[in-house]
Amino acid sequence: MGLLDNLKDRFNKAEFTVAPNKKLKTISKEFMETFDLTLAFYKGNQLADGDLTLNQLNQKTTKEVKTNSGESLKIKGSTKVGDCEKMFDAAFGVTVQVKDKKGEICVPNGITLGQAARGEYK
């Protein structure tokens, strides 16, 4: 743990291409495959249906979802959880929450995705 793990996290890169027709559960699956963490999407204060696409989510929430955003996210294991959630909001206007592998516990915003994947917050 510690220094070696943090160094590995800096080189663990993930890039997500989020198209308006991509289902939320597909985006979450790719996040799980990369970071071994759950990514939950919200429609207001409720968990969004995973079968929705970003376009469909835009039609079901008062918050504008940026489905035409030309941005792509580059997220590393060294990215803090809170920063990752803010990046999704800034790039696409969606509210996400990073949770543990089982999707039961919200991980603290102040730790990195790598630390969260290793369970270093318990």
Is residue 16, in this structure, part of any structural domain at all? yes
pLDDT of 72 higher than 80: no
Parent domain of 20: 3-117
Query: Tens digit of pLDDT for each residue in 3-16?
Result: 556 555 555 545 55
pLDDT score of 65 more than 90: no
Looking at mean pLDDT, say which of 14-18, 64-68, 97-101 comes out highest.
Answer: 97-101
Q: How confident is the model at residue 104 (pLDDT cuts 50, 70, 90)?
A: very high
Cα(13)–Cα(69) distance, integer angstroms: 21
**Whole-angstrom Cα distance, residue 95 to residue 34?**
20
pLDDT above 90 (res 40): yes
Pairing of strands 38-43, 95-99: antiparallel
Decide if 7 is inside a domain. Answer: yes
* Rounded Cα–Cα distance for residues 98 and 84 (Å): 8
Query: Does residue 33 form part of some domain?
Result: yes
Joined together, the tokens standing for residue 42 give: 């919200």
Number of domains in the chain: 1
The band of 100, judged by pLDDT with boundaries at 50, 70 and 90, is: very high
In a domain, 23, yes or no: yes
Check pLDDT > 60 for residue 71.
no
Residues 6+ apart with CB under 8 A from 122: none
Establish if 122 belongs to a structural domain: no
Nearest CA to 37 out of 98, 111, 80 is that of: 98
For range 95-103, the mean pLDDT: 94
User: What contacts 30, CB < 8 A, 6 or more positions away?
Assistant: 16
